[in-house]
Structure 1
Amino acid sequence: MLELKGDERLDYLLAERLRIIQSPSVFSFSLDAVLLSKFVSVPIQKGKLIDMCSGNGVVPLLLSTRTKASMIGVEIQERLYDMAKRSIDYNGLSGQIHMMHGDIKEIPGQLGHSKFDVVTCNPPYFPTPSKEEINQNEHFAIARHEIYCTLEDVVRTSSQLLRQGGKAAFVHRPGRLMDILSLMRKYRIEPKRLQFVYPKAGKEANTILIEGIKDGKPDLKILPPLVVYNEDHEYNPEIRRILYGEE
């Protein structure tokens, strides 16, 4: 019997036959996480994957429809970790997905270096502002701001976890692109695929998806852009296909 706490609800996970626990006051997944789960290259059968800053476990849950590889999700907020664990159990995926409650910076020391084939991360996007500016909701503040991990922490830890030739994929904001590229090179993750996501045609990009290979050769491919909404503010066909499986 699934126990829901507080204002939690059990939502359908879009195109997939999965359910996920969400809470408007704690955490609900975003389009960014869904795009990351569709963008990253994953092995179909064997392998070891790790998702950092997992939130309520949406990326591992979605990846379970694409790969049979074993997965670990890491989340520092105990409440979100608990939500993810209950969702994984509810969907009968505890044999494939294991959640860890902890700080991503400590994970290489706990699990070992160079052990993973794929690392994914939808990290906090924004530097930590002053106390007056920060979101009063602690869960939202930690998810959005670099309170417990910086972008450099994310890239460095990804490199430590990846085996040579392993892949790391991130979703972030275009304003941090130069930071991401320089940090990936600094920590031996060669950028290989980059995609810009636009809210509407004619608007500036507001999201980037980037994947790199540890100790890979320089050869960055810029993928066709993704445009989320049409002029009527409805999802474009490609986004509808990603979200709902519609052709």
Structure 2
Amino acid sequence: MVELKGDERIDFLLAEENMRIIQSDQVFAFSVDAVLLARFTSVPRTRGRILDLCTGNGVIPLFLSRRSQVPITGVEIQKRLHDMAVRNVNLNELEDRLDMIHGDLKDMPKVLGNGRFDLVTCNPPYFPTPAHDKRNENEHLAIARHEIYCSLEDVIKACSRLTKSGGKISLVHRPGRLADIIELFRKYQVEPKRIQFVHPKQGKEANVLLIEGTRDGKPDLKILPPLYTHKDNGEYSDEFREILYGK
């Protein structure tokens, strides 16, 4: 049996009906953004290595384990979330392929080595760090949402150093940071290759950005068709429902 702590619960991992995940509303529960990134990114299928930074409770490695047979490493700076990630690996009996590291992503090139991974994914904090009196009082949620321990540049610099030449880097973020992301990609020798915007419904501005780049790649950017998460009546769109729950 896997131990649950505090207000933790075990949920099914959406479309992966035979997978489960430990979550907590007070510590960490994965968002739709993680599902979208795991579905969007290109993955090495049978050879190579995958790294997920800001892994939280390990949700993206769990999703990617169904798309790839290669070893997957997750890195999480918060000790409580790292502990949840380790228990999620055990819960799904994936100890032979998934490994969770407690540490700072800025230290990972030194810890893991430069250019070791074929794919690096990250669902980073989205928002600049506010003044102390304006932060979420819940420390776990504040760290996950705000650039308290890592800036966008820290994330992209680490991704670049950890990815081998020709390898992929995939991020989920907010559309308003697109110019910053492309600027930092190129600063650190990552060429943007694929972009997809996610909209809450047709006629509404995009609220999620998915972007993938290639380390030392050549310029050739493709804009994928937009993804709409909801129909006009508020129900999930057919495409989004399939992403969440499968066919």
Normalising by the smaller structure, the TM-score range is over 0.9
Which residue is equivalent to 2:6? 6
CA deviations over 1:71-124 (Å, ceiling 9, x no partner):
100000011000111011110101101000000000100111011100000000
CA distance in structure 1 between the aligned counterparts of 2:95 and 2:41, rounded to whole angstroms:
22
Q: Structure 1 residue 44: deviation in Å?
A: 1.1
Equivalent in the alignment of 2:149: 148
| Offset, 1:46 | 1.4
Q: Match of 1:15?
A: 15
CA distance in structure 2 between the aligned counterparts of 1:163 and 1:43, rounded to whole angstroms: 13
Shift of 1:148: 0.3
Moved over 2 A (4+): none
| Greater mean alpha carbon deviation, residues 230-239 or residues 158-167 | 230-239
Identity of aligned residues (%): 61
Q: Could you say which residue in structure 2 is the equivalent of 1:71?
A: 72
Query: Are positions 1:115 and 2:116 aligned together?
Result: yes
Q: Does 1:128 align with 2:129?
A: yes
Alignment partner, residue 174 of structure 2: 173
Question: Structure 1 counterpart of 2:218, which letter?
Answer: K
Output the CA distance in 1 between the equivalents of 2:182 and 2:113. 25
2:2/2:90 contact within 8 Å kept: no
Letter in 2 for 1:194: I
Q: Secondary structure of the residue that 1:132 maps to in structure 2?
A: helix
**Could you tell me which residue of structure 1 aligns to residue 205 of structure 2?**
204
Helix, strand or coil: the match of 2:129?
A: coil
Structure 1 residue 187: Cα displacement: 0.3
Deviations 1:15-43, CA, capped at 9 Å, x for gaps:
00200000011110000000000000001
Matched residues in 2 for 1:168 and 1:38: separation? Answer: 14
C-alpha contact (below 8 Å) 2:153/2:184 kept by paired residues: yes
Amino acid at match of 2:10: L
Who is 1:90 aligned against?
91
Name the counterpart of 1:137: 138
**How big is the alpha-carbon RMSD for the aligned residues of Structure 1 and Structure 2?**
0.5
In 1, the alpha carbon distance for the partners of 2:100 and 2:180 equals 29
Residues in 1 aligned to 2:236 and 2:22: alpha-carbon distance in whole angstroms? 24
Determine helix, strand or coil for the equivalent of 2:38.
Answer: helix
Amino acid at match of 1:228: T
Query: Structure 1: any 5+ residue segments left out of the alignment?
Result: none
Q: Say which SS state the counterpart of residue 142 (structure 1) adopts.
A: helix
SS at match of 2:67: coil
Q: Deviations over 1:186-229 (max 9, x none)?
A: 00010000000001111110000000000100000000000001
CA distance in structure 2 between the aligned counterparts of 1:98 and 1:2, rounded to whole angstroms: 17
